[in-house]
Structure 1
Amino acid sequence: MKKIKTYFIYLFALILVLVINITLRLQVFGNDKLEELKAEGKSLIFTFWHGKMLVPIYYFRRKGYYGLASQSRDGEYISRVLQKLGWKVVRGSTSKGSVKSLLKLIKTLRKGNHIAITPDGPRGPRHKTKPGTVYLAKKSNSVIIPVGVALSKRKVINSWDRFHLPYLFAKAVLFFGEAVEIESDINQSEIEKKVAKVDKHLMEAEEEAKQLLNR
């Protein structure tokens, strides 16, 4: 019964992601800078808030990117949806103590792959980047790319992340914000400053996405 329940929840989530995104009127801005970074041989760490994941996980489908899904039951549903959309998935989190998953992602990035994570996931606090995100970039010589998401019409779910569920046929904007470079020799206090910088750039990307949506 547990396996049957997991399958049907996964199937419902997948159908929801597909139907909503197929009907969205999506515009994407700032992606030209990504090709420049890739041409320089940089691996990219795309970051977007946990509550805004529904549009990015579809946009990044079938690109061979790696995603991170927690070991929880909710993580199992997300992992299955991501894999069906063509993602490669590492199970774990960027929270303290998740050394195994971080090491896997570091190896993945060092091989020239790109990943996408929700830096405030899997359980919050909301809109607060965990240090593991910066640690990943530091150890893999990767660049963090903040992704802002804006929706014209959505249902905001009463969950810890205030999950945004777009309405069918809503307008949506994805905006790739200013890249955050992480030097490999920074110390702990500098890591904390970089964490704050990622938060700042993510919020700026969110605001820019909203501005673009309203134009």
Structure 2
Amino acid sequence: MKRLSVRVAIRLAAWLLQVLFWTLRPVYIQEPVLRHLLDRQLPFIAAFWHGRLLYPLRLMQIYRQSRVTVLVSRSRDGEWISRIAQRFGVLPTRGSSHRGGGQGLLEMVRRVQEGYIACVTPDGPRGPRYQVQPGVVTLAQKTGAAIVPITYNAKWRKVMRSWDGFVLPLPFSRVVVIYGEPVCVPAQVTADRFRAAQQELEQRLQHMTDLADRFF
């Protein structure tokens, strides 16, 4: 009975999200950055803050002509995110982005090499908020995939009182989606250059998020 209730709840949540997405009115800034990679079928990693992961579900659905996988933690919340992502045609990869040798990250490397677009929340699943952990840079280093920072905000929204300040767009809101210039990490990289790439991604995502928050 409990399993049935969970399945029904997940289907309902996915349906409600789909209805919400249909009502939103998006504005895309620097979308050609992403289109360039998609049109040329170049490997890339989509990186967005944990608190801004909701609307990227819609983006994954829009670009689903490409195979997409998302790194999701093994927590209880991660289980819900994983099963809802599957309803949007996204393959969940379970694990953590915090440790370069983590099983989830190694699985993501394999997925990217198979041609998947990788989606990662570099400050998740536990934070600190808006601080990029090294896992996403390791993933780029091992795969040669560029990291594309993505963020969004909504004019009408609910900001949750959670560690990540989760942003929930409200129905019929305008939404701004910002794509940043890719961050590239060479296969052979010094420790200083690795940290520089990590800081570069963090600064770009923070700057883009500030712009999105001021957009409305």
TM-score by length of 1: 0.90
1:156 partnered with 2:152: no
Kindly indicate whether the alpha-carbon contact (under 8 Å) linking 2:180 and 2:204 is maintained by their aligned counterparts in 1: yes
Kindly indicate whether the alpha-carbon contact (under 8 Å) linking 2:33 and 2:181 is maintained by their aligned counterparts in 1: no
How far off its partner does 1:78 sit?
Answer: 0.6
* 2:29 corresponds to: 29
Deviations 1:15-38 (A, max 9, x none): 332122111111222121223334
Aligned-residue sequence identity (percent) comes to 33
* 1:101 corresponds to: 104
Structure 1 range deviating more: 187-196 or 168-177: 187-196
Structure 1 range deviating more: 165-174 or 182-191: 182-191
CA 1:159 to 1:5, structure 2 compared with 1: closer, same or farther past 3 Å? farther
Structure 1 range deviating more: 166-175 or 13-22: 13-22
* 1:55 corresponds to: 55
How far off its partner does 1:87 sit?
Answer: 0.7
Kindly indicate whether the alpha-carbon contact (under 8 Å) linking 1:6 and 1:77 is maintained by their aligned counterparts in 2: no
For 1:1-215, list aligned pairs within 5 A: 1-38=1-38, 42-61=42-61, 62-63=64-65, 64-96=67-99, 99-210=102-213, 213-214=215-216
How far off its partner does 1:56 sit?
Answer: 1.0
* Alpha-carbon distance in 1 for matches of 2:69, 2:197: 23
* Alpha-carbon distance in 2 for matches of 1:2, 1:49: 32
Kindly indicate whether the alpha-carbon contact (under 8 Å) linking 1:145 and 1:177 is maintained by their aligned counterparts in 2: yes
How far off its partner does 1:9 sit?
Answer: 3.8
* Alpha-carbon distance in 2 for matches of 1:154, 1:98: 37
Structure 1 range deviating more: 112-121 or 34-43: 34-43
CA 1:58 to 1:144, structure 2 compared with 1: closer, same or farther past 3 Å? same
* Alpha-carbon distance in 2 for matches of 1:60, 1:38: 12
* Alpha-carbon distance in 2 for matches of 1:84, 1:98: 29
* Alpha-carbon distance in 2 for matches of 1:97, 1:40: 28
Q: Can you give the 5+ residue segments of structure 2 that lack an aligned partner in the other structure?
A: none
* Alpha-carbon distance in 1 for matches of 2:102, 2:84: 24
Residue 28 of structure 1: SS of its match in structure 2?
Answer: strand
Kindly indicate whether the alpha-carbon contact (under 8 Å) linking 2:100 and 2:134 is maintained by their aligned counterparts in 1: no
- Give the AA of the match of 1:143: A
Kindly indicate whether the alpha-carbon contact (under 8 Å) linking 2:100 and 2:135 is maintained by their aligned counterparts in 1: no
Structure 1 range deviating more: 59-68 or 191-200: 59-68
* Alpha-carbon distance in 2 for matches of 1:67, 1:26: 22
How far off its partner does 1:141 sit?
Answer: 0.3
* Alpha-carbon distance in 1 for matches of 2:12, 2:158: 17
Q: What is the RMSD computed on CA atoms of the aligned residues?
A: 1.9
* Alpha-carbon distance in 2 for matches of 1:196, 1:147: 16
How far off its partner does 1:190 sit?
Answer: 2.3
Kindly indicate whether the alpha-carbon contact (under 8 Å) linking 2:100 and 2:138 is maintained by their aligned counterparts in 1: no
Residue 147 of structure 1: SS of its match in structure 2?
Answer: strand
